[in-house]
Amino acid sequence: MQYRTLVTVLAIVRCKKEITMQDKPVALVTGANKGIGLQIAKDLAAHGFTVLVGSRNLENGETAAKSIGAAAHAVQLDVTDQASITTAAERIRNEFGRLDVLVNNAAISQTGRRPGVSIEEYAKSTLVSNVSLDELRAVFETNVFGVVAVTQAMLPLLREAPAARIVNVSSGAGSLTMHSDPAFAYRSGFRPLYHASKTALNAMTLAMAIELESTGIKVNAASPGPTKTNLNNYEGTETVEEGAREAVRLALLGPDGPTGTFSHTKLGRLPW
């Protein structure tokens, strides 16, 4: 009798735990083991989310999750590996039962400068006329195709959420409108690697927003601005807290919030 009572109690406790987990909104942030992604995860946890820290290296993700607290869980997720993406989606469904917010943050700016090559020499090697096609493919694989692959895998869960949000972390560096203006100070720096990949990501963002408009799922692109991260060798001017702010705002949009937009926390709407 005591054994049956214990089993019943444990079952009730487990059931209550599962219900509690399902009642709490869940957010997945890719590339969240450091930089802006980690800060976004911290901020969403502070807003009451169970946060899934996506990381190519699970150990790094676990370290990051511990720095956030009990609301965070590491998820092994390589956005360039379909098997990894599929496994992550299955784990989220089986372990957490829902997904309310997807922040596509994982990105690379280059595959790496060869030893002995100066920044100036490397910059010259990334012009359209001589850029390495292998490097171009690698950057687009992470920054564009990876975003689409992860979004496709997570959409079944997002469609089940009462008010799902997708935030793609883009960059003002991808704005065609700004860079096509001869008076724009940074026009000459537009390159086919990082810059063009963010242009393509903006296009994917708009395509997603248009497709999902009738579902209530809002899809927007956030520009962090020149943030001090490993992506730019910490040469940015803004802190990760500032860089994460717009993505978090878009993740928390209410029912009257916009969809299909590109924005920055200080500059507001940005031109595509």
pLDDT score, position 176:
97
Parallel, antiparallel, or unpaired for β 101-104 and 72-76?
unpaired
pLDDT score, position 183:
94
130 Cβ neighbours under 8 A, 6+ residues apart: 124
Contact predicate 265/225, CB 8 Å:
yes
Q: Residues 42, 194, 218, 228: which is the catalytic one?
A: 194
The pTM assigned to this predicted structure is 0.87
Fold assignment, 24-111+120-269:
Rossmann fold (3.40.50)
pLDDT score, position 6:
45
167 Cβ neighbours under 8 A, 6+ residues apart: 101, 102, 103, 104, 219, 220, 221, 222, 247, 250, 251
Per-residue pLDDT for the chain (272 aa), expressed as one digit of tens each? 454 554 444 454 454 444 444 689 999 999 999 999 999 999 999 999 999 999 999 999 999 999 999 999 999 999 999 999 999 999 999 999 999 999 999 999 886 655 555 556 667 778 999 999 999 999 999 999 999 999 999 999 999 999 999 999 999 999 999 999 999 998 988 999 999 999 999 999 999 999 999 999 999 999 998 665 655 455 556 788 999 999 999 999 999 999 999 999 999 999 99
Q: What angle do CA 253, 257, 261 make, to 5 degrees?
A: 100
pLDDT score, position 1:
43
Q: Residues 17, 34, 66, 198: which is the catalytic one?
A: 198
Place of tokens 């001017």: 237
Contact predicate 227/36, CB 8 Å:
yes
Contact predicate 240/231, CB 8 Å:
no
198 noted as active-site residue:
yes
pLDDT score, position 18:
46
194 noted as active-site residue:
yes
> Which residue ranges make up each domain of the chain?
24-111+120-269
